[in-house]
Structure 1
């Protein structure tokens, strides 16, 4: 496939998932005296901080965030916010951007965690507009459709901001091409995540022998097919914990486990804490 056709394919596959958005004011006293907040969410955070400052810890790095600056945190990234004053305000959105149905945009770019004040101002404006549109009362069907078109336009504006200040990871487009080649496999995985998935069936979808498929998959993605499936089950479990009130048994069934206990053990072995503890730590 030539580059122009490939770019059209990628362009047409862009998909936004909006989870929630709001403005939240944090006070030290409201957190029972805590000045630290720890998060790890299955969606991206795009926000502007006002009335700071605060300290952002990700891995072994720390970043001071001044009032007016923006934050861009990729999905499934554990981070800590340390309050440096009595309060801070965050104007935030939880969103995800995917391409080719299964690729997380943030897997291919390195966005700065902390932005300039100018970028933060743009993020804050778009967050306010998107939140207002999402919370507005519908008048009729045509008005609702028009409003959703406005939300989509502003989501593209946000995407443009993120891409304009991000670096592309080495080999990004080559990796996207790999995902496109294996798309039938990823489609099958997603549809059958609640069932037992056999590598032999995945190999059939690619018209390859099982051994050849296993080798090519691992060369392309640096993990075996079963390791990839386990990672997808963990991500879906995190998403369900964050966005639904399903019981542990119901979530277990949706990610391929007959009972809750094996799922809880799997989640803890992969993530390091129980699903119940993970859910309690999510912002409300």
Structure 2
């Protein structure tokens, strides 16, 4: 049985970040490629399309929904001259640093019934976010309404998802290492030493390295590098910062070593990544 207090801790760690939402009409171009550092939840409104993820392909009919986790490369082939989509870009995290999709597996393509629910909530959230508040109290009310619909959207996603084996129980490990995650997040712009992280856990460096790798299947250094990559992808997608400014925010003094790091981790330069970004 799950400890009720632990459930409260998980609930309190749940965080939504709304990035953007809209209705977009795609025309002319036959295919569109995407790779975004945030979650996409959308409903296809007009025009069938083919969705390609890895070696799998899915035909998506009007009315169906899409649930695409962050950092998933996918391509859309248009089967007619246009398609229209209601969409939201979100971050949904637990324990500040872990994506919801680290714990669940959602279908990439939903039924029309689920798609209709997604489309309705997307329209309501977008309307609330774009509405001009009359005063501070109505602004607060609007944000409460957005939050309510975000939780409803989360409920829809969870209702069609399955939990990864052991993932929820394993969140206890995240609690234990929370000081490490917080420190890394707060000091990405600096040089981070594994010895500093070990001290936070009151462990020797070798013992800390062993326990961290056993818990997360990556070394502390690999975790730090992954967090730098995620932060840089997020900044490339959501800001107009220069390469040098992004480099400074993830611990590099100059743009060149950052570009070399990004290319070694991702496979292409940050400039190409930013240029290729599309927002559904």
Query: Above 0.5 in TM-score?
Result: yes
- Map of 1:50-199 to 2, 5 A cutoff? 50-199=45-194
Q: What is the aligned length? A: 279
Which ranges in structure 2 are unaligned for 5 or more consecutive residues? none
In 2: Cα distance, 1:275 partner to 1:157 partner = 35
- Taking structure 2 as the reference length, the TM-score comes to 0.98
Which ranges in structure 1 are unaligned for 5 or more consecutive residues? 29-33
Corresponding residue SS for 1:267: helix
The equivalent of 2:25 in structure 1 is 25
In 1: Cα distance, 2:74 partner to 2:173 partner = 30
In 2: Cα distance, 1:162 partner to 1:89 partner = 21
Which runs of at least 4 in structure 1 moved beyond 2 Å after TM superposition?
none
Deviation (angstroms), 1:2: 6.4
Q: String of CA shifts for 1:235-272, please: whole Å, max 9, x gaps.
A: 00000001110000000000010000000011011111
The equivalent of 2:269 in structure 1 is 274
In 2: Cα distance, 1:270 partner to 1:37 partner = 23
Q: Tell me how large the CA RMSD over aligned residues is.
A: 1.1
Q: Check 1:48–1:2 CA distance in 2 against 1; reply closer, same or farther (3 A cut).
A: closer
Q: String of CA shifts for 1:53-90, please: whole Å, max 9, x gaps.
A: 00000011101100000000000111000101111001
Q: Check 1:2–1:72 CA distance in 2 against 1; reply closer, same or farther (3 A cut).
A: closer
- Taking structure 1 as the reference length, the TM-score comes to 0.97
Deviation (angstroms), 1:174: 2.7
Q: String of CA shifts for 1:118-170, please: whole Å, max 9, x gaps.
A: 00000000000000000001210001000000000000000000000001001
In 1: Cα distance, 2:171 partner to 2:153 partner = 21
Corresponding residue SS for 1:63: strand
In 2: Cα distance, 1:37 partner to 1:4 partner = 45
